[in-house]
Amino acid sequence: MKKGLFLMLALVAVVMVSCSKDAKINRRIDGDWRVISIGGFSVDPDIIIMSFDKEKRKTGDGSLSWTNEFGTEVSAFSYSVQDQKITLTLDGETEVLNVTKYEKDDLEFSDSDNDLWILERK
């Protein structure tokens, strides 16, 4: 009986720790971010901007804007955070981003092509 209770408590603790990391990621990514590198290639920090707007504990909406010689284009997306991954839906396409670093002013994730994106807070 004690062993079963211990296993149940351990399982609850693991789930709570995982959920709190996801909520922490969502709190920290809330706001505007400059993309400074994709797949090891430097990007002008004013060319690509990702904006996250946290709605609930682990979900939100955002926008991806990029500037080129023709002007600035903006696309809206929605996202959710689970298991330290950001599932982003943009123009009907879904991308899962594996978060590798989430600090106050630095964010890193890898995309489905294993390209590392490095962002800094705007």
Tens of pLDDT, residue by residue, the chain (122 residues): 555 444 454 444 444 444 578 878 878 888 999 999 999 999 998 899 999 998 877 889 999 999 988 999 999 999 999 999 999 999 999 999 999 998 889 999 999 999 999 999 99
pLDDT of residue 3: 53
CATH of the domain at 81: 2.40.128.280
Which backbone phi and psi does 6 adopt, to 5 degrees?
A: -60, -45
Q: Would you call 60 exposed, middle or buried from its count of C-beta atoms within 10 A (0-12, 13-18, 19+)?
A: buried
Total domains present in the chain: 1
pLDDT of residue 24: 83
Q: How far, in Å, CA of 40 to CA of 53, rounded?
A: 27
**How remote is the C-alpha of 33 from its chain's centroid?**
11
- Note the pTM of the prediction, 2 decimals: 0.77
pLDDT of residue 14: 44
Write out the residue range of the structural domain in which residue 84 sits.
Answer: 2-121
